Amino acid sequence: MTDPNVRRADLTALFAHASDADLADTKAYRLQSTPRQTQKSLAILALRTSVSDTETPTSNQELAMAAQETDIVIIGGGHNGLVCAAYLAAAGQKVTVVERRGVTGGAAVTEEFHPGFRNSVAAYTVSLLNPRVIADLELAKHGLHIVNRPYANFLPTSDGRYLLTGGGGTTAEVAKFSAQDAAALPAYEAQLETIADLLRDLVLETPPNLTSGSWRDALPDLLGAARLGNRLRRLTMDERRVLLELFATSAGEFLDGWFTSDPLKAVLGFDGIVGNYASPYAAGSAYVLLHHVFGEVNGVKGAWGHAIGGMGAITQAMQRACVARGVSIHTDCAVEQVLVEAGRACGVVTATGGVIRAKRVVSNIHPRLLFEKLVDPAHLAPDFRARMTRYKSGSGTFRMNVALSQLPDFTCLPGPGGHLCAGIILAPTLAYMEQAWIDARQTGWSKAPIVEMLIPSTLDDSLAPAGQHVASLFCQHVAPELPDGASWDDHRDTVADLMIATVDKAAPGFAASVLGRQIKSPLDLERDFGLVGGDIFHGRLTLDQLFSARPMLGHGDYRAPVAGLYMCGAGTHPGGGVTGAPGHNAARAILADIRRRR
């Protein structure tokens, strides 16, 4: 069923009649407001997958009954696949999405993991979701409501004190540890914000692609490089030097150049190792820090928030946007092969033998899964295949959800309060973080792990029974693959106990309050969500895997080395996080090729 109120004409004009440059520079729509409703009502709306039975995704059994034809088939119903589908359908394309799991959303899903307790399963917090995507897909109309955290981070220190950032009191909090750092903080934030603004401009740009062939083939990318150069020229020389620093050096070195107090460097440096299996003093970790600060929530730059109903509320709103535009969605529908005929992708074969023929195929899955599992090697150049096997993918992430009988009570700041609505970082220094990485490299997991805990039920009472709570634990460092051939299946509970004990050390009684838990080791993340090596970014955010080189030089423009095959997942620019940007950018590239009849 297609919603007649969808702004199909507006979006068709946006994509079909403007040049790529015009599309990249189009001003973002203003974030639409949501009518004030109770959290419970919003959560109920977020849980509904459709407004009628006819809009429910079909199962693979229905698909297997007969071969189907469509304009575009998208492999993977994660958030970027849904974003790409919505844009393509709005431009008049007949789009089919096939998803291996029984629900769309990929790693951005909400599940009941203990009776009466629900939480985001993998992705767990909001900041990077692009405002233009929110507006274009009318996600507020489709039930999405995001609330800002009142505080950013809460970090207990090893001497019994704490640092609480955000809420307008950061400078005073930092001054408890260093008046010099408190005085330096505004200049640091201003400098980082200037660079973050540049990245925000680039998020919805297609990177200049290094191509071979005629000058005509290269011209669009030369123009793109020129536009990038113009943006860089707006930076002062000092800002250009900072940009180089952030791309080439470590988070630790960058922060050591600004500050002296360990708690402040820990709170800021934590962003440099989130999802990054590395020391905070590893080259390139400063960029990972930057990657996590260019987001915004409800118009507030650099803020973090919570989607009422959990991260699944985002992708269910996206699914409704797709259905309203006429997208056909099939769940429980794994793809086994990308069909290629006469050198061009022309459809997919599902695990049950169903065939969907299409003019174009789009992959929202990890690049290595696409090119190592679904595309016949005969259709790929030997150099491309060899390089893809070396594509770096592996995160030191161990993800948990816990059901709690009560809120944790921290020794350094007892009782309830706004600090429990913040991102709670249990890693007091950069040296602590570095040792956690060293331990994991040597033994498979940290003896003293890094834990970020969020308690989303403090902002969203739909997630747990009255008076009880859910907590998300994002834990590091653990080895993506354990040494000596050991399996994560044999050690996941041991490591889960360690993570809970780490929280209990800072908040005695926490372990006793745990009523149930959900555990996702790196192996679980790979099996359940296709995150190779448990990598939450679909590939590491290193300099050789960014921008035009994501996933590989020559294919940074969302076009695969097989004609008619495209990529729209986090393995393309701008990388990981729940942004929607790769899906948006890939749709633009596909529509440009349709206009050019390529």
State how far the Cα of 40 lies from the Cα of 406, in Å rounded to an integer: 20
Query: Is the confidence at residue 142, as pLDDT, over 90?
Result: yes
Query: Is the confidence at residue 237, as pLDDT, over 80?
Result: yes
Which helix (H) or strand (E) segment is 527 a member of?
helix 522-529
Tell the residue number behind the tokens 């199909």, with chain if given. 8
For the chain, the straight-line distance linking the first and the last C-alpha, in angstroms and rounded, comes to: 30
Q: Which CATH number fits domain 8-149+305-392+535-595: 3.40.50.2300, 3.90.870.10, 3.40.50.1820, 3.50.50.60?
A: 3.50.50.60
Query: Is the confidence at residue 51, as pLDDT, over 90?
Result: no
Check residue 162 and give its pLDDT: 98
Query: Is the confidence at residue 41, as pLDDT, over 50?
Result: no
For residue 177, give both structure tokens: 């540890």
Helices (DSSP H) in 204-249: which residue ranges? 215-233, 237-248
Residue 220 binned pLDDT confidence (cut-offs 50, 70, 90): low
Query: What are the pLDDT digits (tens) for 569-588?
Result: 999 999 999 999 999 999 99
Check residue 486 and give its pLDDT: 96
Query: Is the confidence at residue 47, as pLDDT, over 90?
Result: no
Whether 495 and 550 have beta carbons less than 8 Å apart is answered as no
Residue 374 binned pLDDT confidence (cut-offs 50, 70, 90): very high
Residue 7 binned pLDDT confidence (cut-offs 50, 70, 90): very low
Query: What are the pLDDT digits (tens) for 284-299?
Result: 999 999 888 888 999 9
Q: What is the pTM of this model?
A: 0.89
State how far the Cα of 589 lies from the Cα of 582, in Å rounded to an integer: 11
The mean-pLDDT minimum among 7-11, 554-558, 579-583 falls in 7-11
Tell the residue number behind the tokens 């970027």, with chain if given. 80
Query: What are the pLDDT digits (tens) for 315-357?
Result: 999 999 999 999 999 999 999 999 999 999 999 999 999 999 9
For residue 30, give both structure tokens: 């203003």
Query: What are the pLDDT digits (tens) for 65-89?
Result: 456 899 999 999 999 999 999 999 9
Q: Which of 425, 407, 403 is nearest to 416 (CA)?
A: 407
Which helix (H) or strand (E) segment is 358 a member of?
strand 355-363
Q: Which of the two residues, 598 and 159, has the higher pLDDT score?
A: 159
Check residue 32 and give its pLDDT: 29
For residue 442, give both structure tokens: 């040597």
State how far the Cα of 490 lies from the Cα of 102, in Å rounded to an integer: 27
Residue 190 binned pLDDT confidence (cut-offs 50, 70, 90): very high
State how far the Cα of 177 lies from the Cα of 155, in Å rounded to an integer: 13
- Which distant-in-sequence residues (6+ apart) come within 8 Å of 178 by Cβ? 259, 260, 261, 264
- Which distant-in-sequence residues (6+ apart) come within 8 Å of 549 by Cβ? 543, 556
